[in-house]
């Protein structure tokens, strides 16, 4: 996976969706709530998704409703990189705090 766009990461930090942790960026409670709402809405709609980018995009569209696709895409990819880095932490693996 390519590196996340530093400008996109900084915007997500400034907007309170990411937090700087001791070793890496972490998702904020605000972001976790947005992802939960997006995942629930997709599940209720019967959306056939297996790619984490779909709920990420849905949550970001909720936060930035007028954002064009070209501006949204780097935010989705940046958040995807952070979300994927958090998966081992949730499972207690190498990415753990």
For the stretch 36-82, pLDDT in tens is 999 999 999 999 878 899 999 999 999 999 999 999 999 999 999 99
* pLDDT at residue number 50: 83
Q: Picking from 12-21, 26-35, 88-97, which range would have the lowest pLDDT averaged per residue?
A: 88-97
The encoded tokens of residue 96 equal 């753990």
The answer to whether 84 and 62 have CB atoms below 8 angstroms apart is: no
- The whole-model pTM stands at 0.85
* pLDDT at residue number 97: 41
Give the residue, 15 or 92, on which the prediction is more confident.
15
The answer to whether 14 and 31 have CB atoms below 8 angstroms apart is: no
């Amino acid at each position: 996976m390519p590196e996340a766009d530093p400008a996109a990461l900084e915007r997500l930090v400034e907007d309170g969706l990411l937090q700087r942790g001791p070793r890496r960026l972490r998702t904020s409670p605000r972001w976790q709530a947005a992802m939960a709402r997006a995942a629930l809405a997709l599940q209720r709609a019967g959306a056939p998704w297996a790619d984490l980018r779909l709920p990420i995009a849905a949550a970001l569209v909720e936060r930035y409703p007028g954002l064009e696709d070209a501006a949204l895409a780097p935010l989705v990819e940046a958040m995807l990189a952070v979300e994927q880095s958090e998966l081992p932490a949730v499972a207690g693996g190498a990415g753990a705090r």
